[in-house]
Amino acid sequence: MMQRKSKVAALFAAVLMTGSVCARAEESFVDWLLNFQRTKGVKPVADKQYQEECGECHFAYQPGLLPAKSWELILNVEALRKHYGVNAELDKDTLKVIHDYAVENAADKSWYKRSRKIAVATEDGPAPLRITELRYISRKHHDIAEKMIKGNTGVKSLSFCDKCHTQAAQGVYDADTVNIPNYPNWDGWFNKY
């Protein structure tokens, strides 16, 4: 009986200590704890300016898809001058807002399951500059034939997450939410292409 009380007390203490870390990663520990979707995906984009500026040219990737060290390299004045072959310069104030939002919500600062996996996978080594370069992402897509992505006019590249992941904007990337354009009967689990 005493052992059980000790275990419960230790568990409660661990939850309280973890709470401050979680609160920094998400809106609040209580919100995170009561959100039953917390074990899935990544935190959806909640910053309007980030959504508008980044989403103007491409899918506004959730910051939880890359670690902070990656966002530091991607979101600076010099990098934005040649942002993947395009000049994406922003004024100083806008850049600060977007940079800070991305870094504060990066994979290594989140408690969402997919973000945590990305954070662990990118802990060591150089900062990845593309989400599609992540070993974790490559492994998740290894069963999908190239013709279904690059050869598919409805997709063209893995970088267009929202073309197949129907709930990508909400941070949900589960296999059961995938609908590959021009391949309506692809089920991902049983078909091998």
Q: Which amino acid is at 174?
A: D
The answer to whether the CB of 103 falls within 8 A of the CB of 72 is yes
Band of pLDDT at residue 190, cut at 50, 70 and 90: very low
Token output for 98:
């977007």
Sorted by where each begins, the domain ranges of the chain are 2-34, 39-130, 141-193
What is the Cα–Cα distance from 172 to 176, expressed in whole angstroms? 10
What is the Cα–Cα distance from 115 to 137, expressed in whole angstroms? 11
Is the sign of the CA dihedral 69, 74, 78, 82 positive or negative?
A: positive
Q: Quick one: which of 124, 84, 83, 123 has its CA closest to 107? A: 123
The tens digit of pLDDT for each residue in 120-146 reads 999 999 999 999 999 989 998 988 999
What is the Cα–Cα distance from 91 to 109, expressed in whole angstroms? 26
The tens digit of pLDDT for each residue in 10-59 reads 555 555 554 444 444 445 667 656 665 555 789 999 999 999 999 999 99
